[in-house]
């Protein structure tokens, strides 16, 4: 599962829908893998306004990556600076979470991740 996806995932439990703690999910015992993906600048430009930068900073810190800058780069900066684009691309698109758990900060529910596939099936009393 890409770090990009992690930036959009929330807890699926119904009681967590209204809580702000249910996003982002916190990775635990994470095993990472790196994949080669072709750089697609237009896609990143399209996605940039939709990224939750604060959540991305939290996630990247929890996964043990160097601290991201306080503010997200603007679209112009992203287009002009090759390095920023590369860095963002390798974090969002190339870093994959293969094994581990995703923990909700509100209800504490743990979603197991196996072979890069998180299990979001819930028992019916939580739906």
Partner 1 sequence: MSRPEDTLLADVHYDDVEARKYTTSSRIQNIQASMTRRALELLDLKSPSLILDIGCGSGLSGEILSDVPEDEGGPHVWIGMDISPSMLDVALQRDVEGDLFLADMGQGVPFRAGTFDAAISISAIQWLCNAENSETSPAGRLSRFFNGLYASLKRGGRAVCQFYPKNDTQKQMITSAAVKAGFGAGLLEDDPETKNVKVYLVLTAGSAGEGGKSSDITGIVEGMEDVDVLDNRRKGKTGKGEIKKGSKAWIIKKKEQMERKGKVVKSTSKYTGRKRRIQF
Residue 92 and residue 14 in contact, taking contact as beta carbons nearer than 8 Å: no
DSSP H or E stretch at residue 33: strand 26-34
71 versus 127: smaller Cβ distance to partner 1: 127
Rounded to the nearest whole angstrom, what is the least distance from the CB of residue 74 to partner 1 in the complex? 18
Alpha helices in 29-103 (DSSP H): 41-47, 53-62, 75-80, 82-89
Of 42 and 67, CB closest to partner 1: 42
C-alpha distances in angstroms, 47 versus 4, 72, 77, 84? 9, 12, 14, 15
Q: What angle do CA 19, 24, 1 make, to 5 degrees?
A: 140
Residue 8 CB, nearest approach to partner 1 (Å) = 4
Can you give the binding site for partner 1, defined by CB under 8 A? 1-2, 4-5, 8-12, 14, 23, 37, 40, 42-43, 46-47, 50, 52, 93, 115-122, 124, 127
Q: Which is nearer to partner 1, 60 or 111 (CB)?
A: 111
- In the bound state with partner 1, the residue whose beta carbon lies nearer, of 11 and 30, is 11
Minimum CB–partner distance for residue 56 and partner 1 (Å): 13
């Amino acid at each position: 599962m890409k770090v990009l996806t992690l930036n959009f995932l929330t807890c699926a439990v119904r009681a967590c829908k209204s809580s702000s703690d249910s996003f982002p999910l916190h990775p635990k015992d994470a095993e990472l893998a790196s994949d080669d993906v072709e750089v697609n600048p237009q896609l990143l430009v399209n996605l940039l306004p939709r990224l939750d930068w604060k959540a991305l900073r939290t996630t990247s810190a929890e996964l043990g990556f160097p601290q991201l800058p306080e503010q997200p780069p603007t679209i112009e900066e992203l287009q002009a600076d090759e390095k920023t684009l590369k860095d963002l691309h390798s974090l969002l698109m190339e870093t994959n979470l293969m094994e581990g758990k995703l923990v909700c900060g509100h209800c504490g529910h743990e979603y197991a991740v196996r072979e890069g596939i998180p299990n979001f099936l819930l028992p019916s009393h939580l739906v």
